[in-house]
């Protein structure tokens, strides 16, 4: 697709919804390759950063794309407020929702406790279920080390962006910070925006294979992934801990 006035939108901004689009279009509707940007309000200034980079069909994400997210972690808070993001999902979309194969990531972390010894893992229904639920939402993940390394690495860029926001007369600025370092959390199969099957990883180790479900899988809201249906849980040392049915990340008797 050529880049002329009829089929290419350089920048269309909707300040009411705090989104902007840059890319290919047909009749002013995103079609083809493009980038959807979120706009972070910073005082009386606006900061543009990627929300989605990929393909569009009739104004909606369709085909392969990368979805970006703020960390929503206190460790990255000062960077989130500057429009900082990481690649939260890479995979297939259809009609603005995740559909097909994709990988879900979280910011790089260290474990807040040692989970490598499977003998420390209990498998009675109550304690094991609560421990597994904690695994599924990242309770054991500590982001402070990764955040501090990122801030040190991009100190010059962070200082420059803060300086521009403070002194530049322009109202709009692009976040030129690199994405947060991220690690694989899930390798998934989505159907109509809902995770249905896949693998879960903890500290680069496979910890679960089987049925899944997502609280929300739509394009704009990031949901929690839960173990659901038939699946097998593994300890980080590879030992099989439980294989059977799950419901909302808890062992199911039914």
Asked if 85 and 70 count as a contact pair (C-beta separation under 8 A), the reply is yes
Picking from 243, 12, 2, 242, the residue whose alpha carbon sits closest to that of residue 127 is 242
Q: Give the start-to-end residue ranges of the domains of the chain.
A: 8-251
SS3 195: strand
pTM of the complete model: 0.83
Half-sphere exposure of 23 (CA within 13 A, CB side): 22
Position 137 scores a pLDDT of: 45
Position 35 scores a pLDDT of: 94
In angstroms and rounded to an integer, the radius of gyration of the C-alpha atoms of the chain is 20
Position 170 scores a pLDDT of: 86
Q: What residues are paired with 14 via a beta bridge?
A: 19
Supply angle C-alpha 114, 120, 125, rounded to 5.
120
Asked if 196 and 213 count as a contact pair (C-beta separation under 8 A), the reply is yes
Position 63 scores a pLDDT of: 97
In tens digits, the chain (254 residues) has pLDDT values of 334 444 555 556 665 667 889 999 988 889 999 999 988 888 889 999 999 999 999 999 999 999 999 988 888 999 999 999 999 999 999 999 999 999 999 888 877 666 666 666 655 555 454 455 445 445 567 788 889 999 999 999 999 999 999 998 888 899 989 999 998 989 999 999 889 999 988 878 888 899 998 754 443 333 468 888 999 988 777 888 888 888 877 777 66
Position 226 scores a pLDDT of: 80
Position 61 scores a pLDDT of: 94
SS3 132: helix
Say which residues have a Cβ less than 8 Å from residue 12's Cβ, sequence separation at least 6.
Answer: 20, 21, 22, 28
């Amino acid at each position: 697709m050529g880049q002329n006035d009829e089929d290419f939108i350089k920048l269309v901004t909707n300040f009411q919804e705090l989104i902007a689009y840059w890319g290919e279009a047909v009749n002013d509707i995103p079609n083809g390759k493009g980038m959807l940007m979120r706009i972070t309000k910073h005082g009386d200034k606006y900061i543009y950063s990627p929300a989605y980079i990929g393909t569009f069909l009739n104004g909606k994400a369709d085909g392969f794309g990368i979805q970006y997210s703020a960390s929503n972690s206190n460790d990255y808070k000062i960077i989130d407020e500057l429009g900082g993001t990481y690649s939260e999902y890479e995979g297939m979309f259809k009609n603005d929702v995740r559909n097909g194969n994709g990988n879900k990531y979280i910011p790089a972390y260290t474990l807040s406790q040692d989970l490598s010894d499977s003998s420390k893992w209990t498998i009675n229904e109550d304690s094991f279920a609560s421990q597994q639920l904690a695994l599924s939402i990242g309770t054991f993940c500590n982001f402070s080390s990764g955040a501090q390394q990122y801030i040190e690495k991009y100190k010059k860029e962070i200082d420059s962006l803060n300086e521009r926001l403070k002194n530049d007369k322009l109202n709009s600025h692009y976040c030129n910070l690199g994405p947060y370092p991220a690690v694989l959390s899930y390798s998934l199969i989505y159907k109509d925006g809902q995770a249905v099957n896949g693998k879960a990883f903890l500290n680069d180790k496979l910890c679960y294979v089987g049925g899944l479900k997502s609280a929300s899988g739509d394009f704009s809201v990031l949901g929690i992934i839960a173990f659901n249906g038939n699946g097998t849980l593994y300890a980080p040392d590879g030992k099989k801990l439980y294989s059977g049915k799950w419901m909302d990340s808890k062992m199911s008797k039914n």
